[in-house]
């Protein structure tokens, strides 16, 4: 039991957690309004791994806790080329469309708040992005997530082409 706990503490210290968005939803019932909350939580290690979690609960703290657990289960790694990405990519998810472009060293992260959070937690330092569609935070984050998972390095692309 002690070994398992140490391993979990090690896992939690490795990843940084960030609450990106909290939404309050109300349901009208006989006695008045009943509120529930949803939380969008990101986790990342700053070395090419990032996860996203979305959870709902009746209390904000419970929603954040559930979202954090969901994010730790959904961690994916992506290709990096130094401090940027290997190639340009445009991805759409529902109504949100996100374009990611590699940038020279020293440029910094040029992105909107939701996309910026995903990229910074993933460890990217130099990148230019543009949100082209919806400004829904959940869809923007999922589009960014999808774009990062579709990145390929130069070696993989050449192998696919048979060069």
Residues 113 and 71 in one domain: no
How high is the pLDDT of residue 10? Answer: 60
Using only C-alpha atoms, what is the Rg of the chain? 18
Domain that holds residue 65: 2-76
Residues 68 and 115 in one domain: no
Residues 84 and 157 in one domain: yes
Total domain count, the chain: 2
pTM for the whole thing? Answer: 0.86
Say if residue 9's pLDDT is above 70. Answer: no
Answer for the pair 99, 115: CB distance below 8 angstroms, yes or no: no
* CATH assignment at residue 145: 3.30.230.10
Say if residue 100's pLDDT is above 80. Answer: yes
CA distance 123 to 121: 5
Beta-strand ranges (E) seen in the chain are 16-29, 32-44, 49-57, 76-77, 89-93, 96-102, 109-110, 127-131
Q: Which tens digits make up the pLDDT trace of 125-150?
A: 999 999 999 999 999 999 999 999 99
- Tally of residues, the chain: 163
């Amino acid at each position: 039991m002690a070994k398992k706990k140490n391993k979990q503490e090690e896992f939690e210290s490795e990843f940084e957690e960030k609450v990106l968005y909290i939404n309050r939803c109300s349901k009208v019932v006989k006695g008045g309004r009943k509120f529930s909350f949803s939380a969008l939580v990101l986790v990342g290690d700053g070395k090419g791994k990032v996860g996203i979690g979305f959870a709902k609960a009746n209390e904000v703290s419970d929603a954040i806790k559930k979202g954090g657990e969901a994010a730790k289960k959904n961690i994916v790694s992506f290709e990096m080329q130094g401090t940027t990405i290997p190639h340009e990519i445009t991805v759409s998810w529902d109504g949100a469309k996100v374009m990611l472009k590699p940038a020279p060293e020293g440029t910094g992260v040029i992105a909107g708040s939701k996309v910026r959070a995903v990229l910074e937690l993933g460890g990217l330092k130099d990148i230019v992005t543009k949100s082209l569609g919806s400004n829904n935070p959940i869809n923007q984050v999922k589009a960014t997530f999808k774009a990062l998972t579709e990145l390929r390095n130069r070696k993989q692309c050449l192998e696919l082409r048979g060069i």
